[in-house]
Amino acid sequence: MSYVALYRKFRPSTFEDVKGQDHIVRTLKNQIMAGRIQHAYLFCGTRGTGKTSVAKILAKAVNCEHPIDGSPCNECASCKAITAGNSMNVIEIDAASNNGVDNIREIIEEVQYRPASGKYKVYIIDEVHMLSPGAYNALLKTLEEPPSYVIFILATTEAGKIPMTILSRCQRYDFHRIDADTLTQRMTDLTKREGVQAEEKALRFIARAADGSMRDALSLLDQCMAFYMGEELTYEKVLSALGAVDTEVFAEFLASVIRGDTGKSIAVFDRLIENGREAGQFISDFIWYLRNLLMVQTSKEDAEETVDVSAETMAELLELSEQADPETVMRYIRVLSELQNDMRFATNRRVLAEIAIVRLTRPQMEKTADAVSGRIRALEEQMEKVLSGNLVYAPGNDVSYPGTPAAVSAAAPREESTPPENAAPEDLKKIRGDWMSIISGIEDGFKRKMLESAVPRYNAEGNDNKLYIEFTNKLAERLPVDEKLRSELMGVIERQYGKHVDIEFLESRNKNESLREIGIDEIIKEKIHFDVEEED
């Protein structure tokens, strides 16, 4: 005899065998025992939750010669015939391929004849949402007033597509997703019956991957058992068989993304691909990992109830939750969800994934509202440290926060009692080269905008080492006498360069002809190197 898949081999045969749908099982058993059987049922729910199995058990129970507490005995001739699929009283129809008016008319003609044996003729119409509008109309009258010996059981995964006229004529039952504990317990029982040793951690991972579907869980278990035939099923073997990734890799990958380390993030992803992991599976699993992180961030008190992970993974999530705010995590989920949708039709999925990783680590490349918000938050954090004196400019260092305009890094604070060195002419040229970075430290938005169009100059004939700022915008007519702005700008330059610079504001109409503009081309040509010496 050919091999029978686990989900078929262990399909429930009585109501007691149905797992995770106690609210439905109890109601149907009570109806059968009380003789209050309905003429039309609608079973709704996601795939693999037991809709068709319960429909067949119900069909057996209503025709069973010796029912036991509302469940079929599976011993009488009627039960055996229905189990074997030979009964003339149970007619299964796949509406996905039999969805026309003519198919429904055949049913209407057949219901006129009583069952040859047994009490009821049961019509199980699977995927009923696939019927055409004409088929629904043809079914409507019969569904409303069928003969007393006919029961309709409609099953669907998309109840929202069924017309209200059909819904109102059926008793609706919603099948819930089966929780991970129930799936794990069921697989534990089946592996013992099959003589297979399996770690609980491995079965729990399969249960999470099944996403509430018993059929999917048993199919994945079947796949893993076939991959490691005759061997103990361990957590690592399940990861390998399903192409999944350990949560430690997720933590490493997420930490590098939060730091804005593009190279490290892509290196982790490439290592997974080279080890045979599937890119789509990694993205799907990582989105779920981010979901768990978001739940931990937003409901730390109830995290253990909303997140089903091990104690080690929970500790990782709690640590990572302090490194990124919920808005940033939601942006990560949005970017990866878009990637997941695009990868369905892409030929080179790896390139798409790497581009998405660059977007994750560099929000300045995006123009969306949440990306801009992330950049602003990072900039605010950095500017707080710059203005407080905890960070000073050091050329050659990498950007500490993704999306910030200037490279800054931690350095030992200068002695307050030691005055900073005065800037040299070469320093003034370097300041001109970093002008946009410098003025980003000005708090007032209007003043910062006026400084963007201002022209930095220095005295080419003298040796005063003073930085002259010429305002060219007519709206800046009051700024040349703004001492507060002058002091603020001097403070920003001193904190970033560690040197003192005298600044004088000029109006465009009163500029000194001896002042020379500090040009960008000149800076690039001379390639002036500007070192900052840290004092002990």
Residues 45-76 pLDDT 10s: 988 999 999 999 999 999 998 889 899 999 99
> Whole-angstrom Cα distance, residue 285 to residue 265?
16
pLDDT band for 455, please (50, 70, 90 cuts). confident
Selected residue with higher pLDDT from 274 and 183: 183
- Residue 248 above 60 pLDDT? yes
* Side-chain half-sphere exposure of 363, counting CA atoms within 13 A: 27
261 against 528, higher pLDDT: 261
Region 434-454: what's the mean pLDDT? 79
Give residue 259's pLDDT band: very low, low, confident or very high (50, 70, 90): confident
Report how far apart, in Å, the C-alpha atoms of 197 and of each of 210, 230, 423, 494 are: 20, 9, 74, 68
Task: Return left, alpha or beta for 68; rule: phi > 0 is left, psi -120 to 50 is alpha, else beta.
Answer: beta
Give the burial class of 482: count Cβ atoms within 10 A of its Cβ; 0-12 exposed, 13-18 middle, 19 or more buried: middle
Residue range 180-242 forms a domain whose CATH class is mainly alpha
Convert the pLDDT of each residue in 298-354 to its tens digit: 876 676 666 766 666 777 788 888 888 888 889 999 999 999 888 888 888 888 899
Please check the confidence at residue 395 and state whether its pLDDT lies above 60. Answer: no
For 138-147, how does the pLDDT look when each residue is reduced to its tens digit (9 = 90+)? 888 888 888 8
Q: How far is CA 30 from CA 78, 79, 326, in A?
A: 21, 19, 47
What secondary structure letter does DSSP report for 93? E
Torsions phi, psi for 426 (to 5 deg):
-65, -35
Q: How confident is the model at residue 40 (pLDDT cuts 50, 70, 90)?
A: very high
The packing angle between helices 349-361 and 247-259, to 10°, is 50
Question: Which pLDDT belongs to residue 509?
Answer: 56
Tell me if 518 sits within 8 A of 428, measured CB to CB. Answer: yes
Residue 129 is predicted with a pLDDT of 92
- What are the pLDDT digits (tens) for 414-427? 444 455 555 555 66
Report yes or no: 13 and 58 within 8 Å, Cβ to Cβ: no
C-alpha distance from residue 380 to each of 385, 386, 494, 495 (Å)? 9, 10, 19, 16
* CATH, domain 420-526, list 3.30.300.180, 3.30.70.260, 3.50.50.60, 3.90.700.10: 3.30.300.180
| Domain assignments of the chain as residue spans, ordered by start | 6-175, 180-242, 247-360, 362-408, 420-526
Q: Any idea which of 5-14, 262-271, 458-467, 521-530 has the lowest mean pLDDT?
A: 521-530
Instruction: Say yes or no to pLDDT of 531 above 80.
Output: no
pLDDT at 241 over 90: no
Say whether pLDDT at 19 is over 70: yes
pLDDT at 453: 79
Mean pLDDT of 159-182: 91
Say if residue 532's pLDDT is above 50.
no
Tell me the average pLDDT across 456-473: 73
Q: What is the DSSP letter of 345?
A: T
Task: List, in order, residues 6 or more apart from 368 with CB less than 8 Å away.
Answer: 331
Closest to 245 measured CA to CA, from 280, 217, 221:
280
Averaged pLDDT, 472-486: 78
- Provide the pLDDT for residue 515: 60
Q: Which CATH superfamily is domain 6-175 in?
A: P-loop containing nucleotide triphosphate hydrolases (3.40.50.300)
Q: Which CATH number fits domain 247-360: 3.40.50.720, 3.40.50.10470, 1.20.272.10, 1.10.10.410?
A: 1.20.272.10
Name which residue leads in pLDDT, 130 or 275. Answer: 130
What does the pLDDT read at residue 215? 92
Q: How confident is the model at residue 523 (pLDDT cuts 50, 70, 90)?
A: very low
Please say if the pLDDT value at position 390 is more than 70.
Answer: no
Q: Which two tokens stand for residue 79?
A: 């039960």
pLDDT reported for residue 214: 92
Instruction: Give residue 415's pLDDT.
Output: 45
β-bridge pairing 40-45 and 150-156: parallel
Across 176-185, 359-368, 389-398, least confident range: 389-398
CB-count burial class (<10 Å; 0-12, 13-18, 19+) for 119: middle
Q: Using the predicted structure, report yes or no on whether residue 242 has a pLDDT greater than 70.
A: yes
Positive or negative, the CA dihedral 54, 59, 65, 69 is positive
pLDDT, tens only, 198-234: 999 899 889 888 878 899 999 999 999 988 888 889 8
Contact present, 166 and 193 (Cβ < 8 Å): no
Band of the pLDDT at 116, cuts 50, 70, 90?
confident
DSSP bridge partners of 175: 45
- Angle among Cα 200, 203, 206 to the nearest 5 degrees reads 150
Name which residue leads in pLDDT, 531 or 496. Answer: 496
Asked whether residue 374 carries a pLDDT value surpassing 70, the answer given is no
Q: What is the mean pLDDT of residues 256-275?
A: 88
- The residue with greater pLDDT, 21 or 3, is 21
